[in-house]
Structure 1
Amino acid sequence: MHAHSSGSEVEAGLATARLTLRRPELADFADMVVLWGDPEVVRYIGGRASSEEEVWQRLLRYQGHWALLGYGYWTIREATTGAFVGEVGFADWHRSGLPDIIGKPEGGWVLSPTMQGKGYAGEALDAAMAWLDRTIEPTASTCIIAPENRRSLRLAQRRGYRIVRQTTYRDSETCILVRERQAADQA
């Protein structure tokens, strides 16, 4: 599960028509604390707001993914204003009891409530998936989404993820989705 493109693309980040995606930095920490401390944001992601300490550990885990695996999460910002939008990316969380996701980068996205409803999640996810398709060796990626999180499920399914099973993870119902890598001419 290693990257096989030049490191310059990883360092440079990604850009879309309206967004920039770059590796999380120390300067993003305050925005991350607000994001992960919002009960609406974590409603379907564990259901509990994160403390500043937990967000700090998250930032370190994001950096660790890039350092060890060559992929990870990006900070999403508006291209014109620099305003914090949220996060998107891929991880290997070594989740116990979910064999469907072993060896496949696990996609995830989370946006500030004020940035939702603008198409930013799909735009950022498209850029991240295109990067993954041309960069990472595994032929599939995965994601887990609470069945009640209908907006994220629809977004994932519109982007080619398909539900392979529903299970319980950490005492919550969870849908496991898988997406096969798209050929370069389709990405």
Structure 2
Amino acid sequence: MQASRRAARDRRYSTFSGIPMISTDRLILRRPLLEDFEPYQQMWSDPDILRHIAPAPFSGEQMWTRFLRQEGGWQFFGFGYFVIEERSSGRFVGQVGFQELRREISPALTGTMETGWTIAPEVQGRGYASEAAQAAFGWAREHRAGRRVTAIVSPANLASIRIVEKLGMRPFAQTEYHDKPVTLFDYIL
């Protein structure tokens, strides 16, 4: 990427919104932009993405609300989701971060930083989820030390189980969410 394009991009992703920008060797974790909605919607429309996460496909309206919620978490809680951008191409490849969802689940996760990630199907298998999650956890350890992080993972989602284990998270409960079995993991930053 040319230096002038990189400088212009960095200005657009500035932290005026309070959302940090984090760089890794291959990725940039940054604030969501309106232009990210189209690839976000494509990612969340893929049945393979949904099989471990949602009981049914999201409507366009639901996806728009979910997309807007990414920035809102930062404003209300001081943490939220990042867009994951591939450094070499500048393309949207997914999302990673933390949220406070107040899910109707037992045991309750209210007051925790629930972590998660989603990687576009066309770039899965490259280690992007692990790299992005480790970078997000690095930020959280520095800026939210002492907070409890949780994750809800389907027992069938072996890739995400490997990532939460790599992050140092440990299982603490087996339960159901939307009538499907899930394992709850946690970690103190």
Normalised-by-shorter TM-score class? 0.7 to 0.9
Of the three residues 61, 68, 92, the one matched with 1:84 is 92
Of the three residues 67, 75, 79, the one matched with 1:59 is 67
1:118 aligns with 2:126: yes
**2:88 & 2:18 partners in 1: Cα distance?**
21
Q: Percent identity?
A: 37
The code of the aligned residue for 2:78 comes to G
* 1:70 Cα offset (Å): 1.1
Deviates more, 1:9-18 or 1:139-148: 9-18
RMSD: 1.7
1:170 aligns with 2:178: yes
TM-score, normalising length: structure 2: 0.87
TM-score, normalising length: structure 1: 0.88
What are structure 2's unaligned runs of at least 5 residues?
A: 1-14
* 1:176 Cα offset (Å): 0.2
Instruction: Give a deviation string over 1:114-158, Cα, whole Å, max 9, x none.
Output: 111111111100100011111125432010011111111111111
The code of the aligned residue for 1:67 comes to Q
Question: Higher relative contact order by CA 8 Å / sep ≥ 6: 1 or 2?
Answer: 1
* 1:47 Cα offset (Å): 4.0
Of the three residues 70, 73, 78, the one matched with 1:70 is 78
Of the three residues 101, 104, 113, the one matched with 2:112 is 104
Of the three residues 169, 172, 175, the one matched with 1:161 is 169
Sort the Cα spacing of 1:167 and 1:134 in 2 relative to 1 into closer, same or farther, 3 A: same
Sort the Cα spacing of 1:8 and 1:15 in 2 relative to 1 into closer, same or farther, 3 A: farther
> Across the two proteins, how many residue pairs are aligned to each other?
175
**2:91 & 2:36 partners in 1: Cα distance?**
11
- Given that residues 103 and 138 in structure 1 are in contact (C-alpha distance below 8 angstroms), is that contact kept between their aligned partners in structure 2? no
2:9 corresponds to which residue?
Answer: none
The code of the aligned residue for 2:81 comes to Y
2:101 corresponds to which residue?
Answer: 93
What are structure 1's unaligned runs of at least 5 residues?
A: 1-6, 182-187
What SS is found at the alignment partner of 1:103?
coil
2:153 corresponds to which residue?
Answer: 145
- Given that residues 19 and 78 in structure 1 are in contact (C-alpha distance below 8 angstroms), is that contact kept between their aligned partners in structure 2? yes
Instruction: Give a deviation string over 1:30-77, Cα, whole Å, max 9, x none.
Output: 011101011011110014222221110001211210111111000001
- Given that residues 105 and 176 in structure 2 are in contact (C-alpha distance below 8 angstroms), is that contact kept between their aligned partners in structure 1? no
